[in-house]
Amino acid sequence: MSSSELLQYIEKTPVREQWQKATNITITIGGIDLIETYKRKGSMADYFTTIYKLKRNVNQLLQRITFDNPNAEVMIMGFYNPGHPDDALYSFANMLLQKVNKIY
Q: What is the pLDDT along the chain (104 residues), one digit of tens a residue?
A: 999 999 998 887 788 888 889 999 999 999 999 889 888 888 889 999 999 999 999 999 999 999 999 999 999 999 988 889 998 889 988 998 999 999 88
pLDDT score at 89: 84
Report how far residue 74's alpha carbon sits from residue 95's, in angstroms, rounded to the nearest whole number.
Answer: 25
Q: Are 61 and 27 in contact (CB under 8 A)?
A: yes
Q: Are 91 and 82 in contact (CB under 8 A)?
A: no
pLDDT score at 40: 87
Element at 88 (helix H, strand E): none
Indicate the pTM of the whole model.
0.86
pLDDT score at 25: 93
- The Cβ of residue 84 has, within 10 Å, a number of other Cβ atoms equal to 7
